[in-house]
Amino acid sequence: MAELSFQVFGHNNKHLDIVFCKSGKNLTVSCTCTSNPSEICQHVINILSGATHDIISGNGDDVKKLASWIVGTDVGKAMHHVLDCAKRLENATEDLADARKRLVKALHD
């Protein structure tokens, strides 16, 4: 079994440990944050999406290795869907802000 560990900054600059384990095509993860165990925390999503800004363990280059682990797996497919949904949400949030501005303008004509 292969393993990649990262230490990241959490809330209030608390150090958190994230460990990814790969066995065959199976990838699992654990994080020491207090997030609901039935959900995925933002710390893990950040690393899966390639972000290295919160990594304090000095092994940010291992994020590229992790990316190679998820190619072609169910984790990779699910992560792609998460990122796609996040982008659509961002666009919808911007559209809503624009619509509100147009409403304000229309109400003040």
Integer Cα distance of 78 and 94 in angstroms: 24
The Cβ of residue 45 has, within 10 Å, a number of other Cβ atoms equal to 14
6's tokens:
């990262």
Tens of pLDDT, residue by residue over 25-59, are 889 999 998 777 778 899 999 999 999 999 999 99
81's tokens:
């869907």
- Between 12 and 7, where is the model more confident? 7
Whole-prediction pTM value?
0.81
The pLDDT of residue 22 is 93
CA distances (Å), origin 15, targets 27, 36, 49, 50, 57: 23, 18, 20, 19, 10
The pLDDT of residue 85 is 95
The Cβ of residue 27 has, within 10 Å, a number of other Cβ atoms equal to 19
pLDDT over 90 (residue 13): no
The pLDDT of residue 35 is 76
Amino acid at 53: H
